[in-house]
Structure 1
Amino acid sequence: MLEDIGKLPLIRKTIRRAINLVGFIYAHSSTLSLLRNFTNKRELVRHAITRFATSYLTLERLHKEKANIRKMFTSDEWTLNKLSKEPKGKEAAKVVLMPSFWNSVVYTLKVMAPLVKVLRLVDGERKPAMGYIYEAMDKAKETIMKSFNNNESKYKDVFEIIDKRWNCQLHRPLHAAAHFLNPEFFYDNTDLEFDFEVTNGLFECIKKLIPQFDVQQKILTELHLYKIGADHFGSDFAMAQRKTHSPTYWWRMFGSQTPNLQKLAIKILSLTCSASGCERNWSVFEQVIVTKL
C-alpha cells in the first residue's frame, strides 16, 4: 500500500528529493560534519531501499531538523565549502531553500503517518493485530481526512489506493469477524451488530471455518449472550478489562459460558497479521484456522 502511494507524482518527487538531499550530505565528510554541528549531532535517517517505510522516517527527521538544515545551507561555512559551487551542492541548497519542497514534505507526512502507524501495529509484537487492523484502518482514514480539513481533493487519489488495497487484499472476513469479537470495540459501538459488512464477515467465518451445522447453531445462540453482555460478559471484571487486556485473554477469562464461540473467537483473535501476511489469500487463512480448530 505504501509503495503504491509512494508512486503518486507529488509524493514520489518529494521522497526522491529527500533521499538525494540526505545522500548528498552523508556522501561528504565536510557536509556531514557541518550537519552535525547545526543539529547538535542529531542524525538524519538514511533511506533503506528494502524498506519503503524508511522513506517516512527520512521525511520525518528532515522535517524536525528543517530550521537547522536551512541554517546550515545559508551559513558562511557552507558558502566557503567548495561543494557549494558544484552542481550537486547547488541542487541540494536549492531544494532546502525551496518552500514548495517543505510544503510537500508536510503533505506526504500527513498522508503517510497514519498508515505507518497501522504498519507498526501489524508488525508489532505487543499484541496480535487481527482484532485491531479493521479499526486501525478506519481510524487512519479519519485522521488523514481531518488533517486536510475534509478537503477531498487533497486525499482522493490516496484513498483510491487504500480502498483498492483494503477491499482486494487486506479486508477479509477474518478481519471483520475479529473486529466484531474484540470487546474493546464491540461494546463501545452500539451500532456494530447492525453493520452489514462486519456481521457478514463474521457469518462467513462461521460458515467456512465451522463445517458442523449443529456447532454453527450453538455459536449463533451463544453469540446472543455476547451481544447483550450477559453473565460473565457483563460482570464488573469483564467490563473493566475490555480495554486493558488483549481480546484473546479476555475471551479465555470470561467466555467459558459460551464454549463454542469462545473457541472460535480465541483462534481468530490469536492470529497475527504481518505487513506481508495481511495480504495472504482467504484460502490460506482458512487452511490455517481449520487446521487449528
Structure 2
Amino acid sequence: MFYSSAGLSFNSARDPYFRSSFSFILKNIIPGYVPPDCKRLKTTLLQKERARIEDLLKPIKSMWRKAGVTIVSDGWSDIRQRSLVNILAVNECGPIFLQAINNEDEVNTKEYIAEKLIAVIEDVGPENVVQVITDNDPVCRAAGLLIEEKYDHIQWMPCIAHTLSLALKDVFSPNNTGDVAFKDSHWISEVVEDAIMIKNFIINHTMISSILSEFSKLKILAIANTRFASDLVMLKRFRLIKQSLIMLVISDKWWPVYCNDNMEQAQLVKYKLTDNSWWKQVDYILSFTEPIYSMMRVTDTEEPRLHLINEMWNTMVEKVKAAIYKHESREPEEESAFYSVVHGILEDWWSRSKTPLQCLAHSLNPRYYSDSWINQAANRLPPHRDAEISQVRNNCWRKMFFTTDNLRTVKSEYGEFALLGTKHFSLNSRPDRDKLDPKMWWATHGTSAQAVQSLAFKLLSQPVSSSCCQRNWRTYDSIRDIVRDKLRPKWADDLVFVHNNLRLLSRRSEEYHTDREARYWDVGDDKFKSLGGAGILESANLSLDEPEFELAMIENIV
C-alpha cells in the first residue's frame, strides 16, 4: 500500500538497502520506535547520512594521490529548464559524485565554467588531478584551455564517446547540398529518414504495434535524439527484427490498416520493408559503422581507457576502410570517394579530440613494445619510434618535470623501458609486456624506475568519457521531479550525493556480484518501471555500457 500511495517505482523493491532495512527490523524488535518525521529526514538525518557516506568514501579517495583522478563534468537542464552542471571525480576505483552546481541564473562563459572546475580541482587537490573531461562544446573547450594555463600538469580532453557520436552524426546527416561529400553520402540520411518514418508509423498506431508483437518479442525502439548514436541504434533494432517487420506488412492483418488508415503512407511502409535493396543499404550502413559503434561502447564507461585510445582509434579507422572497400570490391591501394568522405569526418573529429596525455599514456603501455603487437600490422611502430608520438611525449616531459635533474631522470628511465634495457628492468620483464595487465607489469617490473612508474600508475587508471555524469542525471531528475520541484538546492544536492555514491559503494559489495536483483536495481534506476509499450529508451535512463539492462529489454526479463 505504501508503494501505491507514495507513487514509488516498483524497481525500488530491488534496492539492497531497502531489503537490508527490513531484514534488520525482523531481527531486531525495537519497542516504542517511531519513524522520523519529514523535517528530520531532510535536515539532520540527511546530513548525518552524507557524513557517513563521506567516511565510507575515504578509502577510495586515499587512492587518488597514487592512482590520480579525472574530473568529469556535464551540463543538464531539468524539467523546468533550470541549468545544472554535474561534477564527478573518476578513476579505476569508480566515479564519486562531488557536486551539482545550479547555474540557472548564470551565463555559461568559459571563465565561469573554468572557475567552477578550478574550485573543484583545488578541493580535490591539484596534485591528484590528471585531466578534466567535458563534452565537445566550444565554451567547454575554451574553459579547458584556461585550466591548462593554470596547471601545467592537468590537461583537458573532450568525451571520446561524445566525439564518436558527433562523428556518426556527420556521417549520417550531410548538410551541404553543394558539397562533394553530400553527393557521396546523402543516401545514408535517406535510409535513416525512411527508418524514422516507418518507426513513427508503427509506434503511432496501437493496432499495428499489437500485430507486430505477434511476430516478434522485440519492440520498435523510440530512442531519444540526445542518446549517443540514436539513429544507428534504431537501424540495428530494425535489422534485428527484419523478418518480423516483413511478416507484419505481408500478413492478412495488415490489410485493414493498409486500406483504412493513411493508405499512402502505409503503402510506402510496406514498399520499403519489402524492398531488398533498401535492406542491403541498411546492412551496408551497419557494416561500416560497426567499428565506430563498438569503440563508442568501449569508451562510454568510467573504466581506464586513456592508454588504449590511440590504438583503438587507428584500429577503428582500418576496420571502417576494410568494410567499405569490401563492399566496393576495391584493392587497398585504390581510391574510394565514399571512404574519403567518412575518413575525412573521422580525422577531423580525431584532430579535435587527441591530447598529449593520450600519446604519453600510449607510450607507457608495455604491450606496444612487444613483438607480438608490432607484428600484427605492417605499419606498426613502437611508441619510441613514432615521430609524432615522440615529439608530443617529450613536450609532456618538459611540462611535467620542471627541474633539469628530474627531467633527465625520467628520460633515462623511459629510454631504458623503451629499449628493453637492463639497468632498470630485468630480462624477465620482456616476455610479460604483452602478457600482464599494464599496471600489473609496472607494479611487478618498474620498481627501479620510480619516476616513470608513478606516472604510469596515474595515466593507466584514467577514463576517456564523461558518461558517468550523464548516467547521474537520471538520479538528479528523479529527485528534482515535479513532486520535489520546490526542494531546496542544498537538500537536492545532498540527496544526489548520498544516492549516487551509495550506488558506487554497492557495486563494490559482494551482494552486487552475486544478487541479480541488486544489479537490476542499479542499471534500471529509479525511473525504471516496466518494459512495456513501444520500448522507449532515453539517454538519461540507459547508457551504452549497460548490457544487463539492454538484455532485459530484449528478453523481457522482469
What is the TM-score of this pair, normalised by structure 2? 0.46
Which one of the candidate residues 168, 174, 179 is aligned to 2:362? Answer: 179
Correspondent of 1:100 among 269, 277, 281: 277
Tell whether the 8 Å contact from 2:426 to 2:445 is kept in structure 1 after alignment: no
Rg larger for? 2
Alpha-carbon distance between aligned partners in 1 of 2:239 and 2:309, rounded to the nearest angstrom? 28
- Cα separation, 2, equivalents of 1:174 and 1:203: 11
1:27 aligns with 2:204: yes
Aligned amino acid, residue 393 of structure 2: L
- In structure 2, the CA distance between the partners of 1:6 and 1:85, relative to structure 1 (3 Å rule), is closer
User: For residue 55 of structure 1, what is the aligned residue in structure 2?
Assistant: 231
User: Displacement of 1:96 after TM fit?
Assistant: 1.2
Match of 1:266 among 457, 464, 486: 457
1:162 is matched with 346
1:7 to 166, 173, 180: 173
C-alpha distance in structure 1 between counterparts of 2:284 and 2:261, whole Å = 29
Distance change in 2, residues 1:12/1:105 (3 Å): same
Give 1:230 shift: 4.1
Distance 1:185 1:241, change over 3 A: closer
State how 1:188-199 maps to structure 2 within 5 Å. 188-189=373-374, 191-192=381-382, 193-199=384-390
1:237 & 1:217 partners in 2: Cα distance? 23
Q: Deviation at 1:128?
A: 0.8
TM-score (norm 1): 0.83
* Contact 1:238–1:250, Cα closer than 8 Å, also in 2: no
The separation in 1 between residues aligned to 2:436 and 2:202, in whole angstroms, is 45
Q: 1:250 to 1:19 in 2, by over 3 A?
A: farther
Specify which of 76, 93, 99 is matched with residue 252 of structure 2: 76
Give the Cα separation in 1 of the matches to 2:341 and 2:460. 32
1:131 maps to what in 2? Answer: 307
Tell whether 2:218 aligns with 1:42: yes
After the TM superposition, list the runs of 4 or more consecutive aligned residues in structure 1 that deviate by more than 6 angstroms.
none
Q: How has the CA–CA distance of structure 1 residues 156 and 243 changed in structure 2, closer, same or farther, with 3 Å as cutoff?
A: farther
How much does 1:148 deviate?
2.2
Residues 215/108 of structure 1: CA separation in 2 closer, same or farther (3 Å cut):
same
Deviation at 1:209, TM superposition (A): 2.2
* Bigger relative contact order, structure 1 or 2 (CA pairs below 8 A, ≥6 apart): 2
229-238 vs 59-68, greater mean Cα deviation: 229-238
Give the letter aligned to residue 146 of structure 1: A
Q: Distance in 1 between matches of 2:374 and 2:312?
A: 15
Alignment of 1:206-285 (within 5 A): 206-231=397-422, 233=425, 236=428, 239-240=431-432, 242-245=434-437, 247-274=438-465
What is the Cα deviation at residue 249 of structure 1? 3.8
Structure 1 unaligned segments of length 5 or more: list them. 278-293
Once the two structures are TM-superposed, the CA of residue 239 in structure 1 deviates from its matched residue by 3.6
Distance 1:197 1:91, change over 3 A: same
| Counterpart residue type for residue 241 of structure 2 | E
Which is worse superposed, 89-98 or 77-86?
77-86
- 1:30-54 Cα offsets, whole Å, 9 max, x none, are 1111212112x12233221111413
AA of the residue aligned to 2:169:
E
Residue type matched to 1:201 in 2?
A: V
More helix by share: 1
| Aligned residue identity for 2:319 | T
What residue number does 1:285 align with? none
Match of 1:67 in 2: 243
User: What is the rounded CA distance, in whole Å, between the counterparts of 1:83 and 1:2 in structure 2?
Assistant: 38
| Counterpart AA for 1:264 | L
Q: Secondary structure of 2:458's partner?
A: helix
Task: Please give the secondary structure, in 1, of the residue aligned with 2:291.
Answer: helix
Supply the distance in 2 between the matched residues of 1:273 and 1:195 (Cα, whole angstroms): 22
Output the CA distance in 2 between the equivalents of 1:143 and 1:257.
39
* Number of the residue aligned with 2:542: none
* Residue 143 of structure 1: how far off its partner (Å): 0.8
Q: Which residue of 1 is the match for residue 119 of structure 2? A: none
CA RMSD of aligned residues (A): 2.5
Q: Where does residue 282 of structure 1 map in the other structure?
A: none
Question: Percent identical across equivalent pairs?
Answer: 25
For the Cα contact (< 8 Å) 1:222–1:258, is it kept in 2? yes
CA contact (8 A) 1:2 1:52 kept: no
Match of 1:281 in 2: none
Q: Which runs of 5+ in 2 are unaligned?
A: 1-166, 175-185, 331-335, 376-380, 469-558
- Which of 316, 330, 333 pairs up with 1:140? 316
Give the Å deviation of 1:273.
Answer: 0.9
Per the TM alignment, residue 24 of structure 1 is displaced from its structure 2 partner at its CA by 1.7
What number of residue pairs does the alignment pair up?
A: 273
Kindly indicate whether the alpha-carbon contact (under 8 Å) linking 2:300 and 2:467 is maintained by their aligned counterparts in 1: no
